């Protein structure tokens, strides 16, 4: 892990583990009940098949604990560890039946979260080659799994944007279009938001051109979201808007091929939706053997 990262609340993790097991009807595994005696023991190893960053071991532990308190998990690669193909990330042992019944749920969490952490780390490292811009996530998360996926983003070395709709004022294109229909200008809309929102919240405005951004500056926004701008446009925006302590965020169309150039423009933040909504699962298998 690049820095110390607080894991999700254990109660939340335990609840998500139980809900995932219930969704899979893991306590009613008819195949295992019909073929595995309750006293047979087993052991297994989480084998990493692709280089990446591990994330989700606390969730794996919660899954097995919910399935059977007799299962023991030995973590060999803690969250944030960079691993190579062929690495054993963890070992597990205990009654064979609950091991088999919990296998898929444990893997689903570990593969998904490790995939997010892995892709995030790639974006963070690539951006660092261009400049000090901070990679941040978005709200494009799997419903019900936001706490875990945002944790995986932090494990990968990035930071979280606003977590929910009440964590900050972000005036986007739809809000602006609706205001214009009512005859309200952009600067007036920002001032209204400033008057209505709690004073502790930052005001952020999405813009697609420097002219609108200058209006936002005059109205007193704290953060300007530069949406879908080319690197040349971003550089112009930074030159026109930077230097007064206002935060500039680049967003839209960010990928591994252009994030270094975007970071080099001088923006402070680069928001990347794909690190959560499009991260491929890290290829990990659980090799279980009976005893």
Query: How high is the mean pLDDT in each 10-residue block of the chain (291 residues)?
Result: 74 97 98 96 98 98 98 98 98 98 98 98 98 96 96 97 91 91 91 88 92 85 94 92 84 96 97 97 97 90
How many C-beta atoms surround the C-beta of residue 145 within 10 A? 19
Active site residue 49: no
CA–CA distance, 65 with 68 (Å, rounded to integer): 5
Catalytic residue among 140, 194, 202, 246: 140
Every domain of the chain and the residues it spans: 10-121+279-290, 159-271
The count of C-alpha atoms lying within 13 angstroms of the C-alpha of 287, restricted to the half-sphere facing its C-beta, is 11
Catalytic residue among 51, 91, 104, 202: 104
Q: What is the Rg, in whole angstroms, of the alpha carbon atoms belonging to the chain? A: 23
Residue 289: closest CA among 103, 112, 110, 109:
103
Q: Known catalytic residue: 181? A: no
Q: Which one from 147, 188, 227, 261 is the annotated catalytic residue?
A: 227
286 φ, ψ to 5°? -110, 105
**Marked catalytic residue, from 93, 206, 249, 260:** 206
Looking at the whole model, is its pTM more than 0.85? yes
pLDDT of residue 3: 52
Q: Which of 139, 147, 111, 154 is nearest to 9 (CA)?
A: 147
What is the distance between the alpha carbons of residues 256 and 254, in angstroms, rounded to a whole number?
Answer: 7
3 is catalytic: no
CA–CA separation, 258 and 251 (whole Å):
12
* pLDDT computed for residue 1 by the predictor: 43
Q: Which of 172, 173, 209, 287 is catalytic?
A: 172
Both tokens of 203, joined, read 């005001």
Decide if 206 is catalytic: yes
For 159-271, give the CATH class: alpha beta
The question of whether 222 is a catalytic residue gets the answer no
Task: Match domain 10-121+279-290 to its CATH number in 3.30.1300.10, 3.90.1170.20, 2.30.42.10, 3.40.50.1220.
Answer: 3.90.1170.20
pLDDT value, residue 6: 86
pLDDT score recorded for residue 84: 98
∠ Cα 230 234 235 (to 5°): 120
The answer to whether the CB of 76 falls within 8 A of the CB of 91 is yes
Residue 72: per-residue pLDDT: 98
């Amino acid at each position: 892990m690049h820095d110390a990262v607080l894991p999700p609340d254990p109660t939340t993790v335990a609840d998500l583990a139980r809900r995932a097991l219930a969704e899979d009807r893991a306590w009613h595994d008819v195949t295992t009940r019909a073929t595995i005696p309750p006293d047979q023991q087993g052991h297994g190893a989480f084998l990493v098949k692709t280089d990446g960053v591990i994330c989700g071991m606390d969730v794996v532990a919660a899954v097995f604990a919910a399935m059977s308190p007799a299962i023991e998990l030995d973590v060999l690669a803690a969250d944030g560890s960079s691993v190579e193909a062929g690495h054993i990330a963890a070992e597990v042992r205990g009654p064979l039946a609950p091991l088999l019944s919990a296998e898929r749920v444990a893997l689903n969490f570990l593969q998904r979260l490790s995939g997010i952490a892995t892709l995030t780390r790639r974006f963070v490292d690539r951006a660092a080659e261009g400049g000090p811009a901070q990679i941040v996530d978005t709200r494009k998360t799997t419903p019900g799994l936001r706490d875990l996926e945002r944790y995986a983003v932090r494990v990968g070395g990035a930071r979280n944007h606003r977590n929910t709709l009440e964590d900050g004022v972000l005036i986007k294109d739809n809000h602006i279009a609706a205001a214009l229909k009512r005859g309200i200008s952009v600067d007036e809309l920002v001032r209204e938001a400033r008057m209505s929102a709690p004073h502790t919240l930052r005001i952020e405005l999405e813009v697609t051109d420097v002219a609108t951004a200058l209006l936002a500056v005059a109205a007193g926004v704290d953060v300007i979201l530069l949406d879908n701008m080319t690197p040349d446009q971003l550089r112009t925006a930074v030159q026109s808007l930077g230097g007064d302590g206002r935060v500039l965020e680049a967003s839209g169309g960010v990928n591994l091929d252009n994030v270094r150039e975007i970071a080099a423009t001088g923006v402070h933040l680069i928001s990347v939706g794909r690190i959560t909504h499009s991260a491929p699962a890290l290829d990990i298998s659980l090799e279980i053997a009976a005893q």
